[in-house]
Amino acid sequence: MMLKEKYLPLVSGWTHSGITCVIFLAVICCRTVASDVKNVKSDEHSVCWARVGHSYPLKCAFELFDSSFFNNTKILEIVKGQKEFNIPIFTANRKLVASVNGGLHDPSYLVFNSAWGSEQSQHVTKRFKYPSLSGIKKPRSEQDIAFMSILELGELIKTKQLTSKELTKFFLKRLKRYNHALEAVVTYTEELAYKQAKEADKLLAQGVYLGPLHGIPYGLKDIIAVPHYKTTWGSTSFKNQVLDIEAWVYKRLKSAGAVLVAKLVSGSLAYDDIWFGGRTRNPWNIEEFSTGSSAGPAASTSAGMVPFAIGSETAGSVTYPAARCGVTALRPTFGTVGRTGVMSLSESLDKLGPFCRSATDCAIILDAIRGKDPDDLSSRDILLDDPFSVDITKLTVGYLEDAEMEVVHVLASKGVNMIPFKLNYTVDSVQGILNFTMDVDMLAHFDEWQRSGKDDVYEAQEQWPTELRRARVIPAVDYVQAQRARGKLIREVRESFTVDAFIGNATDWERVCLGNLVGLPVIVVPTGFKNIPNPPPNNTTRRRTTITTGIYAPPERDHIALALAMAYQSVTNHHRQQPPIDDLGPNDPIPSSPTSS
């Protein structure tokens, strides 16, 4: 007899129970079940007993929850309550708030606050004072234009050496030219871009200048909704989805005069770099992939396809692709940037942040998109000092064992007090806490997706489908216990954070988990390059592996991390290097991208 033919009758009638699959697994693992059935007395008070035949498979199921201390009577009582009480509530709640995927509606009121103090300050947000540039001339080389900073491009527009329409056309051309090699674009927003560029040029002609983002093209990770355009979340299940929502971050950038030219790749449902159209590549080494779900924003910024882009991080999706693609990127303090109109993984972990050429550009973008989003319960008007006015000589900055020492030496030479540092905490389940939090929250937002079997067509079965099936059997009490452990971790990190900032590896997984759980801002800074492993013959390739570091600050001290990164980049040029996507070397077997659109 086939396994399913033998055991399926045992679980028939349990299709609405959240523990169906667990019971079935338990039956399989209980090898003595057949002989035990004969020795177990029936219970006339339990319909479940009659259906299953005995309580042994149920006992095995509870062992999977680490709850083997329940006796048979208690197990059957719980099962009866599951049917009569829990399942009706499950059904009612699913109908009420879980019939639409993505978590865009009915946000959880279990709101995480990354502030270390208990009081919320009341203030009016003060905008940063950007450095002024003068004498900027339009380069003769289009390649040089592609890698100019936001302030430099803004000066070209302000002085009317370039129109926004011309710059928009230029970057749309680059996006189409290099997307063949990088697979970084989901949708070109060409009609919208030219409309916004036309408006920017019109305002400037009328003497209205909106600031450094006036007329500057950019891209959005494709989990961010823009009306009339697809918001695919990178997934086959949603690749034709159009959301009639203006995301908060899009509205902020639109009001600053920026021009949206493309929706950029998000890994499927914001997990890694695999999406329904392929897999996004690293411009510095197109033989490898960009890693992390903000793959499109990182690759496009790195390749000079956009001056900047907005990505997101729940657990490494800013830090990993920024490090791989060699761009400067900021994961801000949790709650700094509103998330209305953005697909939700975990409402206590999700953050939006910029991918840019430099820390200066990151500061400009952060200034434009920060502030209280009235429809995002977690967003706050966080009082940040002006990073352009920070006196770094008054800072004490720690460096971990895995910090890039060039950064340490440069900052020390500029008067920063640099000291060896170690972040101490006793919580040893940091990675598990993050997985519990992210997976359970994600499943709550994609409950219908899993129940309807749409996870069967997911792009990488070993990713979300596997994780979310595990999440289905995490008891609520253990989810809450994980949040209590998270609170302990936050307290311990706060007590251990005895410096103004610290420098360390940006992609150490334990640190990525810790930083996201605690709410630490971090800026990823390019610090150099090294040769790729197994280069082609005669080592003629220009492909490189990027080297980066992270500058971490306490929550609500993003300006300190930005100021330190700007100080480092003021005397180094790693962030100005251009990837070799046009010229890989004469003996490099990887074909270069097309030379025209």
Residue 98, classed as helix, strand or coil, is coil
**β-strand partners of 547:** 528
Q: How far apart are CA 422 and CA 410, in angstroms?
A: 20
**Residue 302 designated active-site:** no
Which DSSP letter does residue 83 get?
Answer: I
Burial classification of residue 412, based on how many CB atoms lie within 10 Å of its CB (0-12 exposed, 13-18 middle, 19 or more buried): middle
What contacts 327, CB < 8 A, 6 or more positions away?
298, 301, 302, 355, 356, 357, 524, 526, 575
Label residues 281-294 b or e (16+ Cβ within 10 Å = b).
Answer: bbbbbbeebbbbbb
Q: Which of 55, 293, 312, 358 is catalytic?
A: 293
Nearest residue to 286 (alpha-carbon basis) of 423, 440, 181: 181
What contacts 38, CB < 8 A, 6 or more positions away?
none
Q: How many CB atoms lie within 10 A of CB 17?
A: 18
Q: Which of 17, 235, 266, 317 is catalytic?
A: 317
Nearest residue to 532 (alpha-carbon basis) of 579, 582, 592: 579
**β-strand partners of 311:** 353
154 to 165, 192, 213, 388: CA distances (angstroms): 13, 20, 7, 18
What backbone phi and psi angles, to 5 degrees, belong to 378?
-90, -15
Element (DSSP H or E) covering residue 431: helix 430-445
Q: How far apart are CA 360 and CA 358, in angstroms?
A: 5
Tokens of 477: 């009490």
What would the DSSP string read from start to end of 350-370?
A: -EEEEEESSHHHHHHHHHHHB
The single-letter code of the amino acid at 504 is G
Mark residue 304 as left, alpha or beta (left: phi above 0; alpha: psi -120 to 50; beta: remaining).
Answer: left
Burial classification of residue 167, based on how many CB atoms lie within 10 Å of its CB (0-12 exposed, 13-18 middle, 19 or more buried): buried
What contacts 2, CB < 8 A, 6 or more positions away?
none
Q: How far apart are CA 50 and CA 42, in angstroms?
A: 7
What would the DSSP string read from start to end of 25-71?
A: HHHHH-TTHHHHHTTPPP-TT-HHHHHHSSSHHHHHHHHHTT-TT--
**Residue 317 designated active-site:** yes
8 A C-beta contact, residue 500 and residue 313: no
Q: How many CB atoms lie within 10 A of CB 60?
A: 19
Tokens of 196: 């916004």
Burial classification of residue 509, based on how many CB atoms lie within 10 Å of its CB (0-12 exposed, 13-18 middle, 19 or more buried): middle
Which DSSP letter does residue 315 get?
Answer: S
Q: Which of 17, 221, 230, 263 is catalytic?
A: 221
Which are the catalytic amino acids?
221, 293, 317
